[in-house]
Amino acid sequence: MSATRTAIFAAAPGATRGQSSRIDADPKGENIVYTNGKTVHIRNIQNPLLAKEYTQHSYNVTVAKYAPSGYYIASADERGNVRIWDTVGDDQVLKLETQALGGRINDLAWDGESKRIIAVGQGKEKYAHAFLVDSGSSCGEIMGHSKIANAVAIRQTRPFRAVTGGDDNTMVFSTGVPFKFDKTIHDHTGFVQDIKYSSNDDFFASVGADGKVSHSNMPKFGYKDIFLYDGKTGEKIKEISTGDHGHKGTIYGLAWSPDGKRILTSSGDQTSKIWDIETSSVVNTFDFALAGNNIDGQQVGNVWKGDHLITLSLSGDLNYLDPSTSKTSRVVKGHQKGITALAVTDDSKTYWTGSYDGRVFSWDAETGAGEDIKSATHTNQVIQLATSGDRVVSAAMDDTIKITPKASPEAAVAVSLGTQPKGVSVSEDQTVVVVSENEAQVIQGGKKVDSLTLRYTATAIAINPQGSTVAIGSQDAKVYVMHLEGTKLKAVHTLSNNKGAITALAFSPDSTLLAAGDSAGKIYVYDVASGEVKVDRWVFHTARVNAIAWSPNGKYAVSASLDTNIYVWSVAAPMKKVSIRNAHAMSVTGVAFRDDETVVSAGSDASIKTWKISHH
């Protein structure tokens, strides 16, 4: 038996309010690269479902940039480490690892020969470092900043020049190579957020937090949106201001058009704009303001490569801009925080996921298109998802469950539990059972119809497809099996073979078997009618079992674990298994079968993956 990964629904770019987020594109304009958590994501621009990931960082990654050659990517993290690795093939061979700074790296830039890099950010003794790609040795000194540096740009043709900008409202212009201080530029009156050279290297532009708002009772200063400089000398050419047509908030990102005649800017005022450099005028304005939400639409980064203009919203949305209409032609969505729950609908056409921040997404299984289901969103972490028929049920740490119709999600019904749920499950007749530490509740028709006080600390719950049997897992490593008669739960027997607290439960499709996973990484399969152990060999996880699901034919089960691994198990041959190691960085939190030969998984890396399983 074997497994082959067939798709990645990649995490959205990570974004922090008040901070620029970097997106880069390869020299051919085929792929973009960005970061989320400890992972670097590479996605095809035309088909974002074609994705790769780099997971070798030990700390959260803050920026990733392609070399001009296209053969390498340099990625940096919050501890000041830079890793340079091969993008050709799937091996991602490490070329160099070096600690460039003593703290978070906010930006980095390659020179035009793919031989040198400058990294900027937070350091104990310096805020920028220039080094050689082959050896990590210094290739100059970037000095002149007194606070954290946020942005860097290098002139791609000789004579090389470098410009850095930071929280000291200052830009430092350096000549090279080796790089050395030339002068400081004090035109900005706020934090410098981004700097970019034009494609022909004749100019560089900078943006930041120093827009001046015009008021009727004050002189009209206009908005100091963009500063333009000579690429060789660093002399200011002009300041582009358009008054009320300019940005009304900090500008976090800028990108030049390929012909060097226009600039794309992205701002915290929830707009992105295209500027004509010669006329200093706004050509297009793209508005991302959301009704009742003054945050998610903030624009925090962008990239312009060929005909593709892409901006990043604070929510993680990647917006494809169409200058001919001043609207988006496409929006690619995804989770920014770790996924904590996964479910596959009965027709196998849609995946539903919930995350650490309470967001719930619906995914087209074929295209990978994701939709943020606002009506199903919780105010705290989603604990578990379950589906039956046309309903999706979510339980969360906000002490509620939500029952959402797939066809009309705006009609979602919230049920207050009065206590924090530990798990939720739903039968074919859409009876919902939910358990908290000391109470089990039965919900029918969106209303609580019964509850049962428990004499043990509950940790997990499952109801069989027919809605006749309920299993409740406990902290004391036992599984309590009950019959559901009408709305009443009645104890049947107790299963006591597990070695740790029960963390996952799943009935087989025909309801004859119950799989119980525990905190010790062991899974026992019980005969539901007799309570006897049928399988006790599914013991290869080395940490807590987070989820278990059965194949539609009932011959196989799949498990997900904190140990980052997935196993596909056979009931007929208990020692026969498919091992998918390091399936998700940090933890695999959800798993399900789409069909007998396709497994879907989700993890703390905020990504969803599909796997083709061969049982031969």
Rounded Cα distance between 601 and 616, Å, is 21
In Å, what is the CA distance from 565 to each residue of 8, 338, 584? 16, 16, 7
Residue with tokens 């399936």: 583
pLDDT tens readout for residues 360-383: 999 999 999 999 999 999 999 999
Tally helices (H) and strands (E) across the chain: 0, 55
SS3 state at 411? helix
pLDDT score, position 1? 76
Rounded Cα distance between 120 and 103, Å, is 10
Rounded Cα distance between 483 and 472, Å, is 11
In the 3-class helix/strand/coil scheme, how is 108-128 assigned residue by residue?
Answer: EEECCCCCEEEEEECCCCCCE
Class of residue 79 by CB neighbours under 10 A (exposed 0-12, middle 13-18, buried 19+): middle
pLDDT at 293 over 90: no
Cα of 202 vs its chain's centroid, Å: 36
Backbone angles phi, psi at 394, to 5 degrees: -125, 140
**Neighbour tally for 219: CB within 10 Å:** 8
**Neighbour tally for 273: CB within 10 Å:** 26
Rounded Cα distance between 355 and 370, Å, is 14
Rounded Cα distance between 590 and 10, Å, is 15
pLDDT at 216 over 50: no
β-pair partners for 404: 392
pLDDT tens readout for residues 436-485: 999 999 999 999 999 999 999 999 999 999 999 999 999 999 999 999 99
382 and 422 in contact (C-beta within 8 Å)?
no
Radius of gyration of the chain (CA): 27
In Å, what is the CA distance from 146 to each residue of 125, 128, 169, 182, 613? 10, 11, 10, 16, 56
* Percentage of the chain exceeding pLDDT 70: 98
* pLDDT (mean) for 204-210: 94
559 and 541 in contact (C-beta within 8 Å)?
yes
Which DSSP symbol is given to 100?
-
β-pair partners for 114: none
β-pair partners for 371: 362
Which residues have a Cβ under 8 Å from the Cβ of 572 and sit 6 or more positions away?
555
pLDDT tens readout for residues 331-360: 999 999 999 999 999 999 999 999 999 999
In words, the CATH class of domain 339-548 is mainly beta
> Per-residue b/e over 10-34, b at no fewer than 16 CB within 10 Å?
bbbbbbeeebbbbbbbbeebbbbbb
Rounded Cα distance between 163 and 203, Å, is 11
pLDDT score, position 290? 84
pLDDT tens readout for residues 44-73: 999 999 999 999 999 999 999 999 999 999
Q: What is the pTM of this model?
A: 0.95
